[in-house]
A and B are shown apart, each in its own frame.
Chain A
Amino acid sequence: MAATIAIEIKGLTKRFGNVIAANDVSFNIRSGEIYGFLGLNGAGKTTTIRMLLGMIKPSAGSVSLFGIKVQPGQRSIWQRVGYMVETPHAYPDLTVRENLEIIRRLRQSKDADVVAKIITQMGLTQYADRRARVLSLGNAQRLGLAKALIHNPDLLLLDEPANGLDPAGIVEIRNLLRGLAENNGVTIFISSHILSEVARLATRIGVVHEGRLVKELDTKELSEQEEQRLVVDVRDIMTAQSALRKAGIVARSNGRNSLVITDKELIQNPGKIAVLLVEAGCPPARLIVEQKDLESYFLELVGMKEGKN
């Protein structure tokens, strides 16, 4: 049976005066997927999340959640959705428990025990009766997540959920979210500007830049980007490439005076390349095994080199 579509975005565009925050963004997310929405600060992630939540009206295009179009007055859908937008905020004079109680009531849940359950689940037990104003950023983040999860939603929309969490907290939240997707079939839409964090969790990633969706990748495509490669600098690239081709080795030019080889066996044994090139009369000036990391791949995608625009 085909998976149902949890989120359907068609031609979503938002203009604020002359600024285009989201530009003709379209994608679908299937139920049970963890979709990482990746972009630099100001790329249009939060604007898109707000449009998904009906907080901002699109200038063009539409959003449907579980087949129901998001529009003013349409609220039955929100029973199935939990969300956290930007840095989580809470009523500062109310305790953690009271803040959650408010959300429980507004979500019209009759089960008063859900507050205690989510407090335990999110590790907030010792802070339950503390006022929100004195919470650390990490615990405020946990409270934000608790508010998003209190009603066992089918869809979670989370804006930078790892912000402010310590490394242990990040792992804990990652495991929690993964468990929700794998065990309960919860669809998770998670925005972030940290590719490595999203890559650990997401089953699919959309890269947004200057309001446009520039690339979508699944986990396999993403892991390929992390593979090692052998980079060979040579003076005469044509001769070197020809010599390698004769030996049955595929080497592509990177547009500069380098050849890139991705064959795993050769990466383990770069001396073979050196010997071949020396014999062909074009010895390598430099031969190095590079680990291409995700961050540089991401910067390449959005048209930026590290530290440069």
Chain B
Amino acid sequence: MNAILKELAPALQMEYLKIRRSKTLWLTTLAFAVLSIIGGLFMFILKDPARARQLGLIGAKAQIFGGTADWPSFFNLVFLLAGLGGLIIFGFIFVWIFGREYTDKTYYDILALPTSRITIVIAKIITAVYWSMALVLLVFVLMLGIGAALQLPGWSLATTTHGLELLLGAGALTILTCIPFAFIASITRGYLAAVGGIFLVLILGQIISQIGYGQYFPWNIPMMYSGAAQALSGKTAAQLGFVSYLLVVLVGVISIIATGAWWRYADQT
């Protein structure tokens, strides 16, 4: 165990150095900040549509439906935005961390070292998890700030704590479902196919949800868990059973094993 940690620490430092200098870090942060701001903007409009019209934020004849300007609605809206955005952005984080080694052809440098390839894969996954969870927390903090600035009614500690639990839970489930994109980026040696995979599961998720099996499609489960799917497909967390969660965990675990095996055993031409 000590030996693994001894190897893992420098591998994690290496990943940290790489992301700290990348534009991707700032782009993903910006994307998640924008999601929170869009949520806030909707709340601002809902709170006083007449004022929003006056400010030109919405058209003069626009009708605003579907919610009230309060904390529970704000949470639901952010769950929806973060649910969709999370799959795309977390997916891209995994794709970038693994795919860039192939696109930049730096993978040669990390294949024949005293630090094992498995350790490097684990360090990359841990980095992607930390990065994604940091974005979840960023959304939460921004949400609290925006909600407070808008003086939204209905705040309670219980609502906020529950909101944080759902956000973290949905974030963790989303992260598990994004690990396969690291595997795709590795076996296809780049970004393109893996990014295509992200959009494919988004589309498939809608179709599978419509035919009534959304609870068995791992990429749909995080949004069902947070309640965000209800607005899109009417699916709720109540429909999720043990099998649904098991599927998400299996997708994550199998992808970690497959990615590790690929880096260790596959021909790196």
Contact = CB atoms under 8 A, between A and B. Distances in A.
Given A50-B268, A55-B112, A93-B22, A105 B14 contact: yes
Q: What size tier do the contact residues of chain A reach? A: 20 to 34
Given A56-B268, A81-B112, A91 B10 contact: no
Nearest to A95: B21
Contacts of B51: none
Interface in A51-98: 53-57, 72-73, 75-76, 78-79, 81, 83, 85-87, 89-94, 98
B10 A94 contact: no
B17 interface: yes
A168 interface: no
A98 to B, nearest CB: 6
B104 interface: yes
Contacts of B269: 50, 55-56
A41 to B, nearest CB: 16
Given A72-B265, A89-B104, A93-B22, A54 B14 contact: no
Contacts of B268: 50, 55-56
A235 B14 CA distance: 73
Nearest to B100: A91
B14 A57 contact: no
B268 to A, nearest CB: 4
A106 B267 CA distance: 21
B264 A85 contact: no
Interface string A100-130: 0111011110000000000000000000000
Interface of A is mostly: loop
A108 B264 contact: no
Contacts of B18: 91, 93-94, 102
B113 A75 contact: yes
B109 A103 contact: yes
Contacts of B13: 105
A87 B105 CA distance: 9
Contacts of B6: 108
B106 A98 contact: no
Contacts of A57: 265, 267
B241 interface: no
A83 B114 CA distance: 13
Given A94-B17, A94-B21, A98-B21, A108 B114 contact: yes
Interface string B102-118: 00111011111111100
A55 B262 CA distance: 12
B111 A89 contact: no
Nearest to A105: B10
Nearest to B22: A93
A53 B117 CA distance: 13
Interface string B1-35: 00000110011011001100111000000000000
B114 A89 contact: no
Contacts of B109: 89-90, 103, 147
Contacts of A86: 105, 108
Contacts of A83: 112
Nearest to A80: B114
B113 A107 contact: yes
A91 B102 CA distance: 11
Contacts of B7: 108
A59 B158 CA distance: 62
A106 B110 contact: yes
Given A78-B113, A93-B22, A108 B106 contact: no
Of the candidates B21, B114, B120, B269, the one having the most CB atoms from chain A within 10 angstroms of its own CB is B114
Contacts of A54: 111-112
A89 B113 CA distance: 16
Interface in B94-148: 104-106, 108-116, 120
B225 to A, nearest CB: 36
A93 B21 contact: yes
16 contacts: A53-B111, A54-B111, A72-B264, A72-B265, A73-B116, A75-B114, A78-B112, A90-B109, A93-B22, A94-B18, A98-B21, A102-B14, A107-B115, A108-B10, A108-B115, A147-B109
Interface of A: 50, 53-57, 72-73, 75-76, 78-79, 81, 83, 85-87, 89-94, 98, 101-103, 105-108, 147
Interface of B: 6-7, 10-11, 13-14, 17-18, 21-23, 104-106, 108-116, 120, 264-265, 267-269
Given A89-B105, A102-B18, A106-B114, 17 more contacts: A54-B111, A56-B267, A56-B268, A72-B265, A75-B112, A75-B116, A78-B113, A79-B114, A83-B112, A86-B105, A89-B104, A89-B108, A93-B21, A94-B18, A98-B21, A105-B11, A108-B115
In the A-B complex, the 7 residue pairs with the closest CB atoms:
A105-B10, A89-B105, A53-B112, A55-B268, A93-B21, A85-B108, A56-B267
